[in-house]
Amino acid sequence: MTPPHRQPARHRTAVLATVPVAVAALLGAAAPAGPTTGAPGAGDPYFPLSGNGGYDVRHYDLTLRYDTTSRRLDATAVLTARATQRLTRFDLDLSGLKVTAVTVGRTEAGFRRDGQELVVTPRHALRAGQEFRVTVAYHGTPKPVTDPDGAADGWIPTDDGAFVAGEPQGAMTWFPTNGHPRDKASYDITITVPKGRTAVAGGVLLSERTAHGRTTFHWRETQPMAAYLATATIGKFQVERYTTRDGIQVYNAVDAREARAAAPVLKKLPSVLEWESKLFGPYPFRAAGSIVDHAPDVGYALETQTRPLYDSAPGLGTLVHENAHQWFGDSVSLTAWKDIWLNEGFATYAEWLYREQHGGRSAQQAFDALYARPASDGLWAYPPGDPGSGAHIFGTPVYQRGAMALHELRRAVGDRDFFRILRAWATAHRAGHATTAQFVRLAEEKSGKSLKELLHTWLYAPGKPNST
């Protein structure tokens, strides 16, 4: 499930063709793929090897067994995909771990490892448009990757299990994936852990069975999900389940060490979801909840689809933020990491709106406090609409100046049109993808105003913008 390609994988070839021959030779390992081999990346300049070309994944069926003592993972991944071109060979993303067998359909396929690429050569070439199934058997001790911003990302072991987050590129540390948000898919995740531990993924819990000292949890997310939003977080958790008035199935898993601090905030989840649904339109998923782990080294929370993941008891602002991402980021997804403000600016602005409507400071006050920062402040170091590299995608300008851009839009079009725009955005691209250019167009359409200049200034101009 990939949106139409605006920047074909061939782009890479064009760039290489213009660089001097010596450099091209140095880059030999990344030489342009032939027309019948799938590209090693999805064409995202911030993370060139994330995702792959030549096919779309429809469904991931992951069967995992994790030993929390030895930290060993034994797994099988079955991917149902469709070739978008003739393929004599294609890549999956997988970092670390040992692959023991790959089959395409019922036939064993050739495979080799090349950095984070698992290169698969099916016995028979795949036709353009052909549906196929890849099965990968693998095991090992999963390790997180270090992101350009220095954060650990992926399968992060904890003292009682693992904190499993994947933004932007950590999914490949625990399953073979087409690891770019351009390709969303549904998931079945089945996890076996020692009895007494709980394994939590996104979506609905289909079954939980204990036998021979182990418990197996089977989770299913039917709505399209980007790989970075998948989790299989394991720990000693207290579990709470209920259904909201809107029929959303809530599953909260909380580490006992965080339970006291988390309780008053988690209690607000139904009212937060209701408030967000009023503002942004119906909640996009069937399931919801929270995973509150005790993972002091992680330092961030993640909007894992249907069930945000927290490294410790969240504050109310963080709960509002991660759940706002269910609309902005999870349901409406990025086609390129450069557009990350569409996730973080929106989720941050949701926090501002929540405070404003619940007796706290107004969004205008939040804006003013930030705007008072001098031109030399880090807030103005780079523009949110193109932070420039993977190292900056979670920086203050993306979150705060991204939210400020939305506030400027609100002031320009007025509350009525502003909230119509937010809702229309979530509705028009529900379960899909969208770009910044599409947002600007939608805002202009809904308001009848010319907004390009204003939004371009706030999103793309270097330095501190003028405010009216």
Q: Mark the segment that binds ligand ARG (CB under 6 A) among 28-36, 149-157, 330-338, 407-415.
A: 149-157
- How many whole angstroms separate alpha carbon 414 and alpha carbon 396? 26
Using CB under 6 A as the criterion, what x/- string covers residues 392-421 for binding ligand ARG?
Answer: --x---------------------------
- How many whole angstroms separate alpha carbon 355 and alpha carbon 363? 8
For 39-154, where are the alpha helices, taking DSSP H only?
none
Shortest approach of ligand ARG to residue 303 CB, angstroms? 5
Shortest approach of ligand ARG to residue 338 CB, angstroms? 15
Question: How many chain residues bind ligand ARG (CB under 6 A)?
Answer: 13
Our finding on whether 276 is near ligand ARG (CB under 6 A) is no
Q: Which of ligand ARG, Zn ion, none sits in contact with 153, Cβ below 5 to 8 A by type?
A: ligand ARG
Q: What b/e readout covers 134-157, taking b as 16+ CB neighbours within 10 angstroms?
A: bbbebbeebbbbebbeebbbbbbb
Q: Mark the segment that binds ligand ARG (CB under 6 A) among 186-194, 256-264, 300-308, 358-366.
A: 300-308
Our finding on whether 347 is near Zn ion (CB under 5 A) is yes
Our finding on whether 451 is near Zn ion (CB under 5 A) is no
**Candidate residues 151, 164, 298, 459; the one interacting with ligand ARG per rule CB under 6 A:** 151
Q: Which of ligand ARG, Zn ion, none sits in contact with 300, Cβ below 5 to 8 A by type?
A: ligand ARG
Our finding on whether 92 is near Zn ion (CB under 5 A) is no
Q: Where are the beta strands (DSSP E) in 94-141?
A: 98-104, 107-108, 110-114, 117-121, 131-140
Q: Which of ligand ARG, Zn ion, none sits in contact with 394, Cβ below 5 to 8 A by type?
A: ligand ARG
- How many whole angstroms separate alpha carbon 384 and alpha carbon 295? 29
Q: Mark the segment that binds ligand ARG (CB under 6 A) among 7-15, 53-61, 295-303, 384-392.
A: 295-303
- How many whole angstroms separate alpha carbon 439 and alpha carbon 450? 13
Spatial contact of 345 and 407, defined as CB atoms under 8 Å apart: no
Spatial contact of 151 and 391, defined as CB atoms under 8 Å apart: no
Strands 110-114 and 117-121: antiparallel
Q: Which of Zn ion, ligand ARG, none sits in contact with 167, Cβ below 5 to 8 A by type?
A: ligand ARG
CA angle 338, 342, 348 (to 5 degrees): 120
- How many whole angstroms separate alpha carbon 457 and alpha carbon 468? 12
* Eight-class DSSP state of 32: P
Q: Which residue, 54 or 168, is less far from Zn ion as judged by CB? A: 168
Q: Which of Zn ion, ligand ARG, none sits in contact with 324, Cβ below 5 to 8 A by type?
A: none
> 402-428 and 341-357 are packed helices; what angle lies between their axes, rounded to 10 degrees?
100
**Candidate residues 83, 301, 366, 379; the one interacting with ligand ARG per rule CB under 6 A:** 301
Q: Which of ligand ARG, Zn ion, none sits in contact with 455, Cβ below 5 to 8 A by type?
A: none
Our finding on whether 300 is near ligand ARG (CB under 6 A) is yes
Strands 432-433 and 332-333: parallel
**Contact residues: ligand ARG, CB under 6 A:** 147, 149, 151, 153, 167, 300-303, 321-322, 344, 394
Name the residues that contact Zn ion, by CB under 5 A.
344, 347
